[in-house]
Amino acid sequence: MFVFVPKDALAQQFTAARLDMIRPKLTWASIDVFRKRSVTIYSYDDKPLEIRNLYEIPENTKYYINTEYESLINKTKQHYRYDLNRSGKELTVSSEFYDNNHVFEIQTIPNEYHVFHSQAKISNTTTEGMVYLTSERFMFIPQFLQMPHFMNNQGIKMDYMYLIKTQLIESMTLNGTSIVLSMNPFYHPDLPSTIELTFTSQPLVLSFMSSLRSIRFEDGGESPLHKLSVNGENIRNSHERVDGIYNPIVELSRQGMEEMYMISDVNAHFKVCPTYPSVLVVPIEMNERMMVNIACFRSKGRIPLVTYYNKKTGAALFRSSQPLVATTFAFGVFKKSESIDDQNYITHIRCDGRDDKSVLIVLDCRAMANAVANRLSGGGTESSGSYKNCIIDHLNLPNIHVVFSAYQKMINGIINRSKKEVSQFYTSVGEWIDILQIINESICKTCDLLKNGNRVLVHCSDGWDRTPQISSLSRICLDPYHRTIEGFLGLIEYEWIMLGHKFQSRLRNQTKENSPIFIQFLEIVVMLIKKYPNAFEFTPLLIKDLAVESVCPTTGTFLYNCEKERRKYDVCTTRMSFFQHIIQNKTVYINPNATLKKYNEIETKFEVFEYRIWNEYYLREFDQICISPQK
């Protein structure tokens, strides 16, 4: 049974009967009135007809079936009659109390199919209903929308109802005959954090879990939705990325780095660094032995890589993970660890094309205390004693856990904004805004260093969260190419997707590593667009759509945590590209007033009043149906 409730009727009282429209691909198991392998239906002259599938009903005929509903709460049984009418490939199921003025139906979308349905109730309430699970959506339809007895009760008020994309379910926890569904906290403030359901028996709740797991948590924890059929038109080269906006050869030439850097396939099988791409841009003087040795000395094997180069001034920006400078800790003393190859590599990127007195600025995104604390696990930061002419500066950016905590406070403030005083609201969102300010100040510092011709190395602990924030935002400020649609998408593909930001762990599957780092990056891009609207080829609409796609993917662009995982699950051969979708619909995002030539460089220097809630994302129209007494 599929019931669609119009949005404009959501907050109203419901008194009508239901009308169920069954799509051609759905068997009768989709309807709660058919619970057996075969069922007997009756024509209006009471002649019985036994069928095993709804579409065995003769076309252009009318039948009826009697069924009963047993309340989960008081166990009383009530009997109802449903009329069946098949016309071509469409089947209508209605009650004898059908009212033409009130039609409630859930319509399937293309390629959606039924997976599971069962009677259930919202835990710790008296709200009973039916749970439906399709390949695309999770639904809870309250019983009074389905039963004539309830629908003819004029005093009924909407209590609970959910129609939610299955991709927004982050995890499930079993508790007896109940199950708690945890929802994605980054999609929309109106999405509940949890939904708890109670089923009639243990086998039913286990069946629900198994069904949900098969459509949501297979394929390494990513929903296997929207896969392409593997045919001649869809098969691509197995080494091709799903997007292909970023081309390392073209980028080498565009930035004028061909004489200093080369493309290496040393990581073709992801053995040097599992979270880096198969193709790396490294100095020409580098050989495979050196790269392997350096990778052994950098956290997660993430060696320093160039991301920005200015041919006129020689300024360059590099990114990496922390060096493993402390391997053991005993008797209150750190045992110092060194790598000659790592030191030589740092010297090379500092002096390449310059004299030996040149300086390398190392921007450690962490606070000094946090960098020192990392020595307990073997990490730390570079020292001027081991790395000649290196100046270490700490940016004091908070870690993913602090960011997530600030985000939760902000979302709580948004949810309860109508109940709060102005001062209370700004207290709720203040911590999030403070972090944005710290990031912007760090970008200003990075850009100033690069404008003055310095070589800069940026890293945090593993180099896949705070590091891409600083690197990518600095490039947007300094290079107008990254303020075009193609340039911006290419930057995201390289800095975030190819270099291993953990999209799945940060934005989707519920873990202790959840954190909206990428959303934070996009929010600052929106701030830049609003400050310099004509410096960007695109409008904030593009940023909003990227945020929604990264949290709830419809394509393969933001799936998984790194290229190795995407290769394992055949993303490039079975998924569409969101970036290609943007390119094909470019006119939707174009800023007609863009004059990029006037804005060679921009800055992240914002006045206090320019820090605002990103309304276009956090307060956008909610596209799911979530009704509860709290909403």
Q: Each residue of 309-339: pLDDT tens digit?
A: 999 999 999 999 999 987 555 555 555 688 9
Residues, the chain: 631
Domain boundaries, the chain: 7-216, 248-627
Query: Average model confidence (pLDDT) for the chain?
Result: 83
Identify which of 419, 442, 336 has the alpha carbon closest to the alpha carbon of residue 383.
Answer: 336
Beta bridge partners of 318: 306, 457
Beta bridge partners of 334: 329
Helix (H, G, I), strand (E, B) or coil at 50: strand
Q: For residues 131 and 138, give the distance between their C-alpha atoms in angstroms, rounded to a whole number.
A: 8
- Output 230 or 361, whichever has higher pLDDT: 361
CATH of 7-216, one of 2.30.29.30, 1.20.1260.10, 3.40.50.300, 3.40.50.450: 2.30.29.30
Q: Residue 115: what are its φ and ψ, rounded to 5°?
A: -120, -45
- Annotated binding residue 302: no
Beta bridge partners of 62: 85
Q: At what angle do helices 517-531 and 466-478 cross, to 10 degrees?
A: 20
Query: Is 199's pLDDT higher than 90?
Result: yes
Q: Pairing between strand 137-142 and 161-165? A: antiparallel
- Annotated binding residue 400: yes
Query: Is 593's pLDDT higher than 80?
Result: yes
- Annotated binding residue 600: no
- Annotated binding residue 443: no
Residues 6+ apart with CB under 8 A from 498: 241, 246, 276, 277, 563
Q: Which two tokens stand for residue 455?
A: 């070589």
pLDDT of residue 26: 31
pLDDT of residue 284: 94
Q: Each residue of 89-147: pLDDT tens digit?
A: 565 655 443 333 333 455 667 677 778 888 899 999 888 888 988 888 999 988 765 54
- Annotated binding residue 463: yes
Q: Residue 474: what are its φ and ψ, rounded to 5°?
A: -65, -40
Q: Each residue of 264-307: pLDDT tens digit?
A: 999 999 999 999 999 999 999 999 999 999 999 999 999 999 99
Q: For residues 419 and 424, give the distance between their C-alpha atoms in angstroms, rounded to a whole number.
A: 9
Q: Each residue of 221-257: pLDDT tens digit?
A: 887 655 654 333 443 443 445 567 999 999 999 999 9
Identify which of 324, 251, 316 has the alpha carbon closest to the alpha carbon of residue 293.
Answer: 324
Is the distance from CB of 199 to CB of 205 less than 8 angstroms? yes
Q: Which two tokens stand for residue 253?
A: 């030439």
Residues 6+ apart with CB under 8 A from 67: 33, 79, 80, 81, 82
Q: For residues 503 and 552, give the distance between their C-alpha atoms in angstroms, rounded to a whole number.
A: 11
pLDDT of residue 117: 82
Q: For residues 472 and 494, give the distance between their C-alpha atoms in angstroms, rounded to a whole number.
A: 9
Is 460 known to be catalytic? yes
In the set 460, 552, 572, 626, the catalytic residue is 460
Q: For residues 475 and 319, give the distance between their C-alpha atoms in angstroms, rounded to a whole number.
A: 12
Average pLDDT of the residues in 388-413? 97
- Annotated binding residue 28: no
Q: For residues 420 and 427, give the distance between their C-alpha atoms in angstroms, rounded to a whole number.
A: 10
Identify which of 92, 93, 90, 136 has the alpha carbon closest to the alpha carbon of residue 112.
Answer: 136
Q: Each residue of 506-557: pLDDT tens digit?
A: 999 877 899 999 999 999 999 999 999 999 999 999 999 999 999 999 889 9
Place 16 in a pLDDT band, splitting at 50, 70 and 90. Answer: very low
